[in-house]
Amino acid sequence: MSMEQLYQQLILDHARERHGHGLRGDASGPGAGESFQVNPTCGDEVRLRVRLSDDGTRVADVSWEGVGCSISQASTSVLSDVVTGAGVADVESFAAAFDDLMHSRGAALDPATEERLGDAAAFAGVSKYPARVKCALLGWMALRDALIKASKGE
């Protein structure tokens, strides 16, 4: 696969703009959760916060901070777009679909999943590089962990 296929323009753009970057809100307390994750290979880090809606069913806000490669930065940026305002159950199923994509080893996506993943489908090429899969998943790991904490915090 060519580098242009791996590093799609959408990825390079998100890596530069980083939606949701810059922590805001509370790290803990009712409906709030924060998680810190490290990729031990390279030392890349992400710290991510979520705030749930009052009824606990939606993600009211996501913000994050981190250093990392373009894959990890872009992936967390796309995450921020996808997750903000979404229902918690939807977020979980989306995260699972993204996880599947990352472990597909470059197999073609079925059109429904591709449609479902939207911008996140741009990361399909990453699945061909096992060492980079962790990069793409770093933000998502932090999100899952933060959501658990946020719902426990209630």
Partner 1 sequence: MLTAAELSAVRADFPLLARTVRDGRPLVYLDTAATSQKPQCVLDAEQDFYERRNAAVHRGAHALAEEATEAYEAARAAVAGFVGVAPGELVWTKNATEAINLVAYAFSNATAGRGGDAARRFRLGPGDEVVVTEAEHHANLVPWQELCARTGATLRWLGLTDEGRLDLGTLDVIGERTRVVALTHASNVTGAISPVAEVVAAAHAVGALVVLDACQSVPHLPVDLHALDVDFAAFSGHKMLGPTGVGALYGRRELLEAMPPVLTGGSMVEVVTMTETTYAPPPQRFEAGTQMVAQTVGLRAAVEYLGELGMDAVAAHEAALAQRLLDGVAQVPGVRVLGPSTAEDRLATVAFAVDGVHPHDVGQLLDDAGVAVRVGHHCAQPLHRRLGVAASARASAGVYTSEADVDAFVEALGRVRTFFGAGAR
* Residue 44 or 61 having the CB closest to partner 1: 44
Say how many CA atoms lie within 13 Å of 1 toward its Cβ.
16
The residue among 24 and 105 lying less far from partner 1, judged by its C-beta, is 105
C-alpha atoms less than 13 angstroms from C-alpha of 95 in its C-beta half-sphere: 21
* Residue in the structure block whose two tokens are 């911008």: 119
Smallest distance from partner 1 to CB 59, Å: 27
Work out how close the CB of 103 gets to partner 1 at its nearest, in angstroms, rounded to a whole number.
13
Q: Is 34 in the site for partner 1 (CB under 8 A)?
A: no
Interface residues for partner 1 in 69-128 (CB under 8 A)? Answer: 69-71
Q: Is 14 in the site for partner 1 (CB under 8 A)?
A: no
Helices (H), the chain: 3-6, 9-17, 70-83, 88-102, 111-117, 130-152
Which of 34/61 has CB closer to partner 1? 34
Closer residue to partner 1 (CB): 7 or 53: 7
Quick one: which of 40, 110, 112, 152 contacts partner 1 (CB under 8 A)? 40
> How many residues can be counted in the chain?
154
Report, in Å, the least distance between residue 11 CB and partner 1: 10
The tokens describing 35, both together, are 């998680």
Coil, helix or strand for 148? helix
Question: In 3-state terms, what secondary structure has residue 36?
Answer: strand
Would you tell me the crossing angle of helices 70-83 and 9-17 to the nearest 10 degrees? 80
Considering beta carbons, is residue 108 or 131 the nearer one to partner 1? Answer: 131
Binding site for partner 1 (CB under 8 A): 2-3, 6-7, 12, 16, 38, 40-45, 67-71, 129-132, 135
